């Protein structure tokens, strides 16, 4: 790999131990993937920010870098943690989880990360532009930043994202290169979709069919919302491992079908209509008519618009005493929801706005017992995909309206 004089200095240890170790990781990665050089990254979104993933060993590694005076060269945001920092005791997380998470978050913060703990950093100020090179982890956020924003990232794991933050570099391979960003598969939407769960169904079905290829969608209207695109991103990345997609006429690298495919021809053409929607719904609904005891909304983390919609549906209503309703989001969105009054409406109805974490990255074993009596209901295809395996909970997947009705009635219709 060709390195600049500054990168050679980093590798030689002239900028300290953390930068040297980080550069060693990046050079090794670059050699594995045949990168010719490094490229600067303007920002990083850090996976492995939850101690459920990082554990004691991962926490020690980050602490070691911080103790050795590691300092992030790139603006860095943190993915969800293992608990809600504002309300962890009340929710039931243990002291041990709090102490370990606090160590990990503090070490990242000491090196310069913004401890925002969200998987939708693009809603709170980490919002790169088209063509910008970044280093992001978290599958739903990777698909969103590559596709909807048109920035460029590979799928970064904890160590490579940490190395990118410490050096401000990534090896130039994969989705950083123009030639790897064109479409592989054409997906024609031939039915109307409404709301995040419909876009989740679409993404789930397509992800299952195509694995890690790059789909190009036609038929999605220009008026598709940010929330629908975030749901599509998460679903594509959960049933498959899609990191980049294009929507003709909507996403920045697809002003036309020709632009989206570039020099390539579609290897496959898929159609998504009512029959495929039914197939997707039956894959996502894994239950035998059990009562609902846990309703989870906000995967990926809810936007302020979603919080408004939830509050509108809950105004003057009451959640069943047999059900826990979690709405997961960031501190920034919760603060706005408090200022607008949406949070008070949700809480008066008996729901809980959870920040900093989410059902998959939280230490759920500590708090799940109270929710394990019945089934989960969610409007997130990603959560519906992981929940049955992770917690062995029967799962209902449906619209926001259906999920909130289930929260009030204790059963899903
Ligand atoms: Fe985000 Fe957690 Fe869902 S990281 S995408 S809320 S599983």
User: Whole-angstrom distance between the N-terminal and C-terminal Cα of the chain?
Assistant: 58
Q: Which of 143, 197, 234, 333 to mutate to test the pocket of ligand 1 (most atoms within 8 A of CB)?
A: 234
| Residue 368: per-residue pLDDT | 76
Average pLDDT, the chain: 97
Backbone region of residue 34 per phi and psi (left: phi > 0; alpha: psi in -120 to 50; beta: other values): left
* Average pLDDT of the residues in 208-231: 98
- Say yes or no: CB of residue 52 within 6 Å of ligand 1: no
Alpha carbon 235 to its chain's center: 10
Q: Are 100 and 51 in contact (CB under 8 A)?
A: yes
What per-residue confidence (pLDDT) applies to 390?
87
pLDDT at 216 over 60: yes
Task: Say whether pLDDT at 399 is over 60.
Answer: yes
Tokens of 111: 């090196």
- Percent of the chain having pLDDT more than 70? 99
pLDDT at 373: 77
Model confidence pLDDT, tens digit, residues 271-290 = 999 999 999 999 999 999 99
pLDDT (average), residues 47-63: 97
pLDDT 10s digits, 382-397 = 999 999 888 888 999 9
Task: Give CA torsion, residues 259, 382, 123, 53, to 10 deg.
Answer: -120
Phi, psi (degrees; rounded to nearest 5) at 389: -75, -45
Tokens found for residue 403: 């999920």
User: pLDDT tens-digit profile of 89-120?
Assistant: 999 999 999 999 999 999 999 999 999 999 99
Closest atom of ligand 1 to 138 CA is: 4
> How many other C-beta atoms can be found within 10 angstroms of the C-beta atom of residue 12?
10
Q: Ligand 1 atom 5: the closest Cα is on which residue?
A: 300
Q: Which residues contact 69 (CB under 8 A, 6 or more apart)?
A: 16, 18
Asked if residue 119 has its Cβ within 6 Å of ligand 1, the reply is yes
- Take atom 7 of ligand 1 and give the residue whose Cα is closest: 360
| Contact in structure between 22 and 162 (CB atoms under 8 Å) | yes
Residue of minimum CA distance from atom 4 in ligand 1: 119
List Cβ neighbours of 34 (8 Å cut-off, separation of 6 or more): 173
Length of the chain (residues): 413
Indicate whether 371 pLDDT > 80. Answer: no
What the block records as the tokens of 266 is: 């579609």
Angle subtended at Cα 325 by Cα 321 and Cα 327, rounded to the nearest 5 degrees: 160
pLDDT digits (tens, 9 = 90+) for 1-38: 999 999 999 999 999 999 999 999 999 999 999 999 99
Residue 372's pLDDT is what?
Answer: 61
Distance from the CA of 83 to the center of ligand 1, in angstroms? 13
The yes-or-no verdict on residue 369 having pLDDT over 70 is: no
Residue 139 CA: nearest ligand 1 atom is: 5
Question: Atom of ligand 1 at shortest distance to CA of 380?
Answer: 3
pLDDT surpasses 90 at 258: yes
In this prediction, residue 398 carries a pLDDT of 98
Q: What is the pLDDT of residue 370?
A: 55
How far are the Cα atoms of 328, 329, 339 from residue 304, in angstroms, in the given order?
11, 9, 11
Sheet holding 395-397, edge to edge: 352-355, 324-329, 292-297, 375-378, 395-397
Residue 234 CB–ligand 1 contact under 6 Å: yes
Confidence at 377, pLDDT banded by 50, 70, 90: very high
Q: Which pLDDT band, with edges at 50, 70 and 90, does 121 fall under?
A: very high
CA distance readout (Å), 377 to 66, 221, 329, 388, 402: 40, 28, 17, 11, 9
Look at residues 351, 259, 357, 349 and name the one whose alpha carbon lies nearest to residue 299: 357
């Amino acid at each position: 790999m060709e390195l600049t004089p500054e990168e050679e200095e980093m590798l030689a240890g002239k900028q300290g131990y953390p930068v040297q170790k980080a550069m060693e990781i990046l050079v090794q990665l670059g050699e594995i993937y045949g990168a010719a050089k490094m490229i600067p990254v303007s920002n990083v979104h850090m996976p492995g920010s939850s101690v459920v993933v990082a554990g004691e060993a991962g926490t020690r590694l980050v602490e070691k870098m911080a103790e050795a005076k590691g300092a992030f060269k790139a603006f860095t945001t943190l993915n969800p943690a293992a608990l809600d920092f504002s309300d962890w005791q009340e929710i039931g997380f243990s002291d041990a989880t709090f102490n370990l998470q606090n160590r990990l978050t503090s070490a990242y913060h000491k090196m310069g990360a913004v401890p925002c703990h969200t998987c939708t950093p693009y809603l709170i100020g980490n919002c790169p532009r088209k063509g910008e090179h970044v280093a992001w982890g978290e599958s739903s956020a990777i698909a969103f930043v590559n596709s909807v924003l048109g920035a460029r990232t590979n799928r970064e794991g904890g160590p490579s994202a940490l190395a990118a933050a410490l050096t401000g570099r990534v090896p130039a391979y994969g989705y950083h290169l123009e030639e790897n960003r064109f479409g592989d598969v054409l997906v024609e939407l031939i039915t109307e979709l409404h709301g995040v769960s419909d876009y989740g169904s679409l993404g789930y079905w397509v992800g299952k069919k195509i694995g890690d290829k790059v789909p190009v969608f036609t038929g999605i209207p220009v008026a598709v919302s940010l929330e629908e695109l975030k749901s599509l991103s998460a679903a594509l990345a959960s049933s498959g491992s899609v990191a980049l997609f294009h929507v003709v006429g909507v996403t920045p690298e697809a002003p036309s079908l020709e632009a989206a495919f570039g020099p390539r021809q579609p290897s496959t053409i898929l159609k998504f209509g009512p029959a495929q929607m039914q197939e997707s719904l039956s894959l996502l609904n894994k239950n035998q008519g059990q009562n609902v005891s846990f309703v989870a909304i906000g995967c990926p983390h809810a936007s302020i618009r979603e919080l408004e919609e939830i509050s509108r549906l809950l105004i003057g209503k009451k959640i069943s005493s047999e059900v826990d309703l979690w709405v997961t989001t960031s501190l920034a969105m919760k603060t706005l929801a408090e200022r607008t009054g949406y949070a008070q409406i949700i809480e008066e109805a008996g729901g809980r706005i959870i920040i900093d974490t989410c059902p998959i990255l939280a230490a759920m074993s500590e708090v799940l017992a109270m929710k394990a009596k019945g089934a989960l209901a969610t409007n997130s295809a990603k959560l519906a995909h992981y929940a049955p395996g992770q917690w062995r909970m029967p799962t209902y997947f449906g619209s926001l309206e259906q999920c909130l009705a289930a929260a009030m009635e204790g059963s899903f219709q």
